[in-house]
Amino acid sequence: MDSSLFYKKLEKITASGISPRVIQSGQGAYLVIKGKKQLNFCSSHYLGLAVDHRLKKAAISAIDKYGIGTGYRTLAGTHTLHLELEKAIAKFKKTEAAVVLSSAYMANCAAIQTILGKEDIVVSDELNHASIIDAVKLSQVKNKFIYKHVDTKSLEDQLKQASKLALTPKSDGEKPIILIITDGVFSMDGDLAPLPEIVKLAKKYNALTMVDDAHGEGVLGKGGRGIVDHFGLLGQVDIEVGSLSKAFSVTGGFIAGKKVLIEFYNQKARQRLFSIALTIPDAAAALEAVNILQKSDTVVKKLWDNVNYLKSEFKKLGFDIGKSETPIIPIMLHDENLAINFSTKLFELGVFATPIKFPMVSKGKARIRVIPSASHSKEDLDLGIKAFEKIGRKLNVI
């Protein structure tokens, strides 16, 4: 293709794209956008730690002591802060060990690609995160079974087929691995994976289990330990992937599990071997965030107080909030233009809540995704509720 035609094609595709709002402040209860203060109702800094003075202090102190940059973990990039952070995460998650990577996206890729070959088998929820889908593609697994969203009957149907396939040895003579993969919290609907049933089925069909708990870390379970703790399944899920960029408000991702598994990732995961380690301030701030939750669950309780209040008030007004069991609250509008219009009018009233539409969700499933945080006061929530009520009535949604 002629290069000029190539760029014209790109121009045509990108012309209809929507540019994101540019944030001119920290990620607190309010954001500054175009010089105007907006109630922050859509970021996933669940615990309000993005502007917490303790994390700021930890990052600044680490910079003063160590500087900023690191390097490749396998060469000159493994810093004492990385080891402290991994030890703290394992303690927090109550697993034998953990490994930290540059993002939760990379953690999912490493978790899957490193242990699976082309002849292994994946059984995956149909609404799993894009990073899981990409990780499975990266692994080049040929045998993929997709089950209906959070449907354990559908999962068992797929496992029956997978277990039959697993009877045939791989070309190296070994038995194929069956890996069940699920999000813990599904980020668009806020519903939970039926993890107890998934674990039971995994044991029944000799499969490994993996949960991506990016939106559950710091939110679910005792002190925010995540969905595995929430369901009382400590030690029964093989691979736990988490994010440091949501509730912990820093950057990076991690894999937690048995010591031998984590050591295998340390030695073999390409995403760890060929990627720069977390910077000094990131590692220090993440370590402080984990330590804060180890000491107290005050911010987790505050988050859930806000979540429960907001959900209750939205329901009273007649909004459809789907099947959310978490701080992710979808205001279901279905029509994409309506979702865009609703969000625009909210913005005019000083409330920032973005529309979610295709391809992030299926067509006909457009919504406004609301996420409160522990940093919001009741007055903040009431401000948002009033704005939603006003626009909801104006647009005949309620």
DSSP state letters, 78-114: --HHHHHHHHHHHHHHTSSEEEEES-HHHHHHHHHHT
Q: How many helices (H) and strands (E) does the chain have?
A: 14, 13
For Cα atoms 215, 287, 47, give the angle at the middle one, nearest 5 degrees.
40
Active-site entry in 79, 82, 129, 215: 215
Whether residue 129 contacts residue 106, with contact meaning beta carbons closer than 8 Å, is answered with no
Examine the residue annotation and report whether 246 is marked as an active-site residue of this protein: yes
Q: Which of 170, 292, 179 is nearest to 241 (CA)?
A: 179
251 φ, ψ (degrees, to nearest 5) = -155, 160
Active-site entry in 129, 246, 357, 376: 246
Give the CA-trace dihedral at 235, 285, 128, 266, to 10 degrees.
-60
**Chain centroid, CA 52 distance in Å:** 21
For Cα atoms 216, 280, 73, give the angle at the middle one, nearest 5 degrees.
85
Q: How far are the Cα atoms of 66, 69, 73 from residue 63, in angstroms, in the given order?
A: 5, 9, 19
Number of C-beta neighbours around residue 204 at 10 A: 11
Examine the residue annotation and report whether 187 is marked as an active-site residue of this protein: yes
Active-site entry in 187, 245, 324, 375: 187
Examine the residue annotation and report whether 215 is marked as an active-site residue of this protein: yes
Known catalytic residues?
Answer: 187, 215, 246
